[in-house]
Amino acid sequence: MAAGQRQEPVMRVIIAFAMMIFSLNLPALAQSDEAPWRASVTGQIEAFRAGDGATALTFAGEVFRTQFEGKPEAFYAAIAASGYSAIVESRSHSFGEFNKVSDTSVLQVVRFVGPDQSLYEAMYQLADEPDVGWRVIGVVLRKQAGIAI
């Protein structure tokens, strides 16, 4: 019985170590799953900040690309004038929670620090479009309480 009692604590340590290693790898696994749509969101935000309507439009969904075909400056102006200037002029952004609704649809929370240090939260809806990848098909923006430091 003494030998069996000594093996039990060793097994617990081995199992605990294995679980720790596995849990440390979970964020990396989740990150790679999120990366495709986050890259599209970041690309569009950075294009807006740079005043580059043509690049921003490439990250938009097919409906936007069709509507503003050949008129990327009109797309940029429409977004800025539609209450999304906090995104267009944002100082920084960070990603929050996401919900992968299906294999081709994601809702992603994005937090912004606006040009006046105000805080904003946006819900991005993205679709994985054939042959082009993840594209922004809608955004709902709301101002949050507080200011960034």
Q: For domain 36-147, say whether CATH 3.10.450.50 is its number.
A: yes
For position 147, what pLDDT does the model report? Answer: 78
Q: Give the pLDDT mean for 3-12.
A: 54
Q: Dump pLDDT digits (tens) for 87-133.
A: 999 999 999 999 999 999 999 999 999 988 999 999 999 999 999 99
Is the pLDDT score of 76 beyond 50? yes
Break the chain into its structural domains and give their ranges: 36-147
For position 148, what pLDDT does the model report? Answer: 78
Residues 6+ apart with CB under 8 A from 53: 47, 72, 73, 74, 75, 76, 77
149's tokens: 């430091």
Q: Dump pLDDT digits (tens) for 12-52.
A: 444 444 444 443 444 433 444 557 899 999 999 999 999 99
